[in-house]
Structure 1
Amino acid sequence: MAVEYAYAYALINLTTGECFQVDDSTNYIINRKYVPIPEYNENYLLKYYYPLPPESFSSFSDFTGEWYVDAAHTTKWNP
């Protein structure tokens, strides 16, 4: 039986927006590089989040970017 944690995150490079790791946790993490995602899904790897999260924020609702398959942000990706 798989354990489902309360939160899932796509960890992104703060320069490029590229996802390099997907993680799940019991912790509510507010950090620019931890983009909240609906559930753990490795398909986020190597996708690009844009625009990058703001310098200061206080909740998940402050993450307003979208996912793209390319670094130029021309082709949207829908998980």
Structure 2
Amino acid sequence: MQTLAQRAYLDSELGVPNELPHAGSALENPFVFDASAHELKEMERRGLVRIVDEHRTPAATGSLIDRLRFMRVQ
């Protein structure tokens, strides 16, 4: 079973900036979105994507990623 981040990666086009979506999925939950964004950041460390833009919002537990744009490079 694919994770939400894996699905976003596979649905993206090579070399085209993509925004990790919010609406219409479990990614509307800020903690789920943050976890998926961190998974994409791990994909960046493995050379699969490049993070184009990231925004964080303060939260009780630190900060959460609330916007992430990435580009598929592999």
Q: TM-score range by the shorter chain?
A: under 0.3
- Structure with greater helix share of residues: 2
Higher normalized contact order (CA 8 Å, seq sep 6+, divided by chain length): 2
- Structure with greater strand share of residues: 2
Please report the TM-score for the alignment, with normalisation by the length of structure 2.
0.28
